[in-house]
Every structure is written in structure tokens, then in C-alpha cells.
Amino acid sequence: MSAEADAAGFPLRDLEEMRQRARDVLAGNDLGTMVTAAPNLYPHMWSWDAAFVATGLSTMSVARALQELDHLLAAQWKSGMIPHIVFSDVPGYFPDVERWGTRGASPEGVQSSGICQPPVHATLLRRIVERATAAGGEDARLAEEFTRRTLPQWIRWHAWLRSSRGGDGSGLLTIYHGWESGMDNSPRFDGPYSRVRPGKMEPFVRTDTLKVTDLSQRPSDEEYSRYLWLVQQMADVRFDDARLPGVMDFQVKDVFMSAIFAAANEDLAVLAEHIGLRGDAPRLREWAQEFREGVDATVDEQTGLARDRDVLAGEWIGLPTMAGFAPLISTADHSLLPRQLEIFEGPDWTGDPRLAFPLPASTSTTYEGLKPRQYWRGPVWPVMNWYLAGCLRRRGDEARYRRLREASLAQLMEGHFAEYYEPFTGEPLGSMDQSWTAAVALEWLADPDAADAG
């Protein structure tokens, strides 16, 4: 830890100090209508970040948590898509709304990007509703009213994903940009990106490398040119869903996002039943089953890991990344679970004795292409630890949930609530004071048994 960090009061002394520090981070990033993803580097609202942030907020105020989701829903496109960025008025981020070219496509008065992110929203809304219902009183009333009012929007979001990105019967969602996966530069996408050949584009000046000056932590300029070329390809056809398959140089069936979608459909069905709208539940459960089966069908018998599919090359993508554990989120085939868990806890993953904490890195720790400091190519992401642990707990695996919670709380005691962490040293990397990291810290601490980890 640096002298500057020591002077700031880090590491934290105990879990109560962690709770207060996490609350301070969310308060400091709150613009009133949205909690920005992080100060300086990410001064806007990101779609799946917002869902995690809302759960953290609900540990303090259910009303504020629902306001966060309302702000996101206000940016929903007519098609049903929820965009991956809702821009605030804070300048200095690239690519901005002008580079996206979405003016006129997004709702009036809203500035947004033109792609989506993983649909974790229904799963995390269900958590908020369960918390509010248990609290009773005004919290329960607000949560039920919000669910009743917004359920049609969430269903339109899922229907758009099902029809525009997963309507081919594969039980897998197609993404047209690595950013849509949320795991922007994961090795999963190296093959598909290698075949993207940028044409003539406006020059660009990145802002992320001005904020995170250690360039080893960020994607390269060459990668960024491919990212921006895909944005331009979409903008050139006005983000028309029907035309994207014919023009996009990047098309991947994303197994991790598909697993999230399967789980979210089940959660949305539960929410519909919670407010008495049982007529919507059967369709949602059909989608859940379709995508569970789609995810399970990708598992490689040799490696035991789930695989993405490169649509344009017609090839499976079987690299050892976190996406390989998609069945832990959604599987319908419970016979897959023992091997998945054995791999997850084995020497290539959380059982690697070199790890600072027994937590999953974004790629296998023994993968030859591991880059332990670079974004989704090796670091440990606290938000993924919490999400995967929650999926295991829903399966009744309380022991594994507790082990992941204990290790996660120990990792976060360093106090910076970083975007991601170096797996072997535990060094905080990327953006500090990351909102969704603070949010999941509050979620871990809201567990009545969290004190056991102290």
C-alpha cells in the first residue's frame, strides 16, 4: 500500500468502517438522479452497473434504489432496448453521445449509447423487492407499486432481447460488440475482434488513458479502433436491429449473457406473480427454459466449460474465461454442476495457491494469455464474485456462498473499492471508488451472518 493510501486511512479497521466507506462512495458518486459508475473515469450511468448499484442503495433506502432504476428505464428505446450508457451532463468521457450518433434514436431528452448490456435487472429488482417486502410498511408499498408500474417495460426489454438478439432458436443471445457483454476486452473476443478491419473513421482521443495512466491496465489503441469501427457500423444503419446482422463485423453468441438472461426471465416471472399478473409468467418461464438449454448445450465435454460461438466464423470459442461458468447461473442440467464446481475450485481457478484471495479471476490463472493487470484479461472483479455467489446460494449452496463472501470481504478491507484487483497481489486497479464495488460491499454486509467473516 502506498504512503498516500496510508495517509487516507486505508486499509479499513473493521466491517463497520467498510460499511460507512461504501456508503460514502455511493453518496459521493450520486448526482441526485443517477449514481455515476465512478468519479472521473465513468461519470455516467451504465446499465448493468445501475442494477447492482440499486441493490446496494436498497440497503439504505428502497426509495432511492427504485429511483435509480426509474432513471435507467426512462432511457429505454421504443424497440424495448435498454442502452448500456445513459449520459449525464458531466463532460470529458469518450466516446460521447456525438460519437455514438444516437440523437433521434433514443427517447426525447435522453442521451444514450446505442447498444445494450447483460440483463441482470430483473434478478436484482427481485432482490430489492424481497428486501422491501421483508421490511414491510412503506418500503413494501413502494416496491410493489414500482414493480406493477414498470413490469411492462421490463417485459419489453426481455422481449427485445428474445426477438432481436435470440430469435433464431439457439437459446443464445447475439452481441454485436464486446462492450455489450460487459467484459469488454476478454480473451473470449480475441478471435472475432481479429477479423474486424476498421475503415475510414474520424480521429479519436481517448479519455480513459488520461485517468488510468498505467496503460497495462487498459485496452490498446488498436483494440479501441476496432471498438469504434463497430460503433460506426451500427450508427451507419441507425441502429436498425433488422439490418445489423447484414453489416456487423463482430457477431458472437454470448453464453454468459445468455445465462444471465435465462435467470432473469425466471426472476421476472416471480415478480409478475408477486403483483398478481400471472398471465405473463408462463411466457417468461418458456424463455428461461429455452436459454437454460441453450447455455447447457455449449458445454465442452473435454474442458467442462461453457463456450461462446463466433457467428461469422462458425466456430466455438472455448478459451478458459469466467464465461465458462455460465451454467452456475442458469443450468437446467444439474449433472453439469459437480464438474463445473470442481473446476471452479481447482488449481486453475479459485484453488490456485498463488492467489491473494480464493476468488475467481476473469480468466484462468494458468491461461498462457493471462494478463493479471488488464481489465477483463485476468483481474478479479468484486461485482462478479457477489453475483456468482448469489447464484450458488439460490441453488442452496450456502457453504460456497459463505466462502466467497468471507474472501470478498477480506479483499475489500483494503478500502479503495476498486474496479478490479490483481489476483496474486490483491492490488486495487482501474478506477477507485467504483460504485458497483461499493454496492456489493453493502450487500455482503447486509447479510445477517456477515459478521462471521470479520
Give me Rg for the CA atoms of the chain. 21
To which residue does cell 444516437 refer? 102
Q: Is 213 exposed, middle or buried (0-12, 13-18, 19+ CB in 10 A)?
A: exposed
* CB count in 10 Å sphere of residue 16: 12
Cα separations (Å) of 75 from 110, 137, 266, 324, 366?
6, 30, 24, 32, 41
List the Cα angle 395/69/79 in 5-degree steps: 95
Q: Of 70, 184, 293, 447, which residue is the catalytic one?
A: 184
Q: Among the options 310, 419, 422, 443, which is catalytic?
A: 419
- Kindly list the distances between the CA atom of residue 321 and the CA atoms of 20, 235, 306, 311, 408, in Å, as whole numbers in the listed order: 34, 30, 9, 19, 19
Active site residue 202: no
Q: Centre a 10 Å sphere on the Cβ of residue 253 and count the other Cβ atoms it contains.
A: 24
Q: What is the DSSP string of 139-197?
A: HHHHHHHHHHHHHHHHHHHHHHIIIIISTTSSS-EEESSHHHHS-TT-GGGHHHHHT--
Residue 211 is classified by DSSP as H
- d(C-alpha 252, C-alpha 175), whole Å: 5
Burial status of residue 321 (CB atoms within 10 A of its CB: 0-12, 13-18, 19 or more): buried
138 is catalytic: no
Q: Which residues are tagged catalytic?
A: 184, 419
